[in-house]
Structure 1
Amino acid sequence: MRTLPTFFISHGGGPWPWMTEFGSTYDKLAASLRQIPASLDLQPKALLVITAHWETVDFTVSGAAKPGMLYDYYGFPDYTYQIEYPASGQPELAEQVLQLLNHKGIQASCDTQRGLDHGTFTPLAVMYPEADIPVVQLSLKTNLDIEQHYQAGQALRTLREQGVLMIGSGLSYHNLRYFDASAARPSKEFDDWLYETLMIKDAKDRHQRLSRWQQAPSARIAQPREEHLLPLWVVLGAADDGKASRIYHQNDLFGGISASSYRFD
């Protein structure tokens, strides 16, 4: 039986795929996102996106059959508030996610009104521009507890054997106060640490080092609040601590910011 990998992706800023104003800034990211479908052995039956842009007290799964759009960004051109990514939802998958979490004693609920936020529709518009694969979203917990998110991923790992592609959508660097050349050093320091850590072959050692991420160089500059890093723990748990490979990296975003994305097999 073929099993899909999981991914942690840096999803970029706002609705960047639609904006010519960004020029070539996101060309490397776009190329890496397009490569993900091409790298898979089979076409996913559905996409489960763990999005950094949705937080709830308990884990919540989106259950709308036809999810709307959430333009959860500010200060962008008017036309970016008319974007459509018309993927369907999949209530059956949402129910299965709910059952898998509850079976492991993880409190979770379903939101049948939730639309697609930009942490979801922005990267998917590049990966699957035809919007022909159903999409379900999973929230983060507002307590931002690393182990609870890792355990949620473990509870969902059997979905990979059923053709569900799990994507953790965040950013390896997310500090909007320092989003220019001033972020070059701290973003590189943290990005280097994250890469070195994820490349550790022993799963136990890697997990222990990841659990101490706040001690990493420039950790709290790179992630003042870790919601954009937490999807990593969910997909790592779902991958059963599988081997990591870096599928995207650049160090010249907005004057020198480093960012990366990873695949787990």
Structure 2
Amino acid sequence: MKPLFLAHGSPMLAVEQNAYSQFLQQIGASLKPDAIVIFTAHWETEAVTVSSKNDEYETIYDFYGFPDELYQVKYPAKGSTKVAELVGRLLSEQHIPVAYDTSRGLDHGSWTMLKHMFPKADVPVVQVSVNPDRPAADQYRIGEALRSLSSLNILVIGSGVTVHNLRAVKWGQQEPESWAVEFDDWLIENMNNHDTNCLFQYEEKAPHAKMAVPRAEHFVPLYIALGSGSPGETPQVIYRSYEFGTLSYLSMQF
């Protein structure tokens, strides 16, 4: 069960039928995980915080100004305290501080994609927070601590966006800006070369890093997913497109 990094894009993804939603439906149909552990860019905490509950999650509408139909969508997935405890133990064994949350629902960094991938909401979900202020190497180490989940048929997902600068979007533009493409190209090349030292210094070494990642909350799930993958495997680009000129839908399998 290879880990994934998936772009969650606009909340409208939940109700749209387009090439990316079709991709999510196809990859979801190809996977039969026993549980999902998803790191979402829309839940930020100081310590790694793990959702720990067995009952149904509330669907959180953590956005505003969208059509009414979006606020009617429900994703009634249940949690798993057993998987949450496993995640916490694996992190703690690597001296990574862990906290647990028993009440928070699923935010749109999770349910907008999972709705397409597993529409029956019949796979237990454990949602995990991110801390964008941690160094890139620490993000990778969080994922690294969870590598054994793959062998247990648990799907690890990093939910974010590589190029995410809402001030730089070009509304209605179909062709991607060259700088956004160059940033993603740099990431792919260094992931393929397993050059983690270079990746950890992306802020200094990647082209257009400040434009692509003005703040790291959407970016760090990539490094967590990368760390959780097999170090001997070459990462695979499983989807790539751009919306509004700059918003990247680059998705990877590790």
Whether the TM-score (by the shorter chain) exceeds 0.5 is yes
- Find the counterpart in structure 1 of residue 187 from structure 2: 194
Whether 2:167 is the aligned partner of 1:174: answer no
How many residue pairs align between the two structures? 248
2:29 and 2:118 in contact (8 A); partners too: no
Paired AA for residue 240 in structure 2 = H
Deviation of residue 231 (structure 1)? 0.7
Aligned with residue 9 of structure 1, among 2, 6, 13? 6
Whether 2:246 is the aligned partner of 1:249: answer no
**Residues of 1 paired with 2:245 and 2:139: CA distance?**
33
Structure 1 segments unaligned to the other structure (5+ residues): none
1:28-177 correspondence runs (5 A): 28-40=19-31, 43-65=32-54, 66-177=56-167
Structure 1, residues 17-49: CA drift from partner, whole Å, max 9, x if none? Answer: 315xxxx6xx22123212323444xx1000000
- Structure 2 residue matching 1:177: 3-state secondary structure: helix
How large is the RMSD of aligned CA atoms in angstroms?
1.8
**Residues of 2 paired with 1:256 and 1:238: CA distance?**
27
- Structure 2 residue matching 1:113: 3-state secondary structure: coil
Deviation of residue 257 (structure 1)? 4.7
**Misfit runs of 4+, over 4 Å:** 255-258
Paired AA for residue 91 in structure 1 = T
Structure 2 segments unaligned to the other structure (5+ residues): none
Deviation of residue 176 (structure 1)? 0.8
**Residues of 2 paired with 1:32 and 1:209: CA distance?**
30
**Residues of 1 paired with 2:95 and 2:247: CA distance?**
40
**Residues of 2 paired with 1:79 and 1:30: CA distance?**
17
1:63 and 1:114 in contact (8 A); partners too: no
Change (3 A) 1:55 1:256: closer
**Residues of 2 paired with 1:118 and 1:216: CA distance?**
29
**Residues of 1 paired with 2:141 and 2:24: CA distance?**
26
Deviation of residue 10 (structure 1)? 0.9
Aligned with residue 251 of structure 2, among 238, 261, 264? 261
**Residues of 2 paired with 1:114 and 1:185: CA distance?**
39
Q: TM-score, normalised by structure 1?
A: 0.88
Q: TM-score, normalised by structure 2?
A: 0.91
Change (3 A) 1:168 1:257: closer
Paired AA for residue 72 in structure 1 = D
Structure 1, residues 67-91: CA drift from partner, whole Å, max 9, x if none? Answer: 1111111211223223200111111
Change (3 A) 1:37 1:123: same
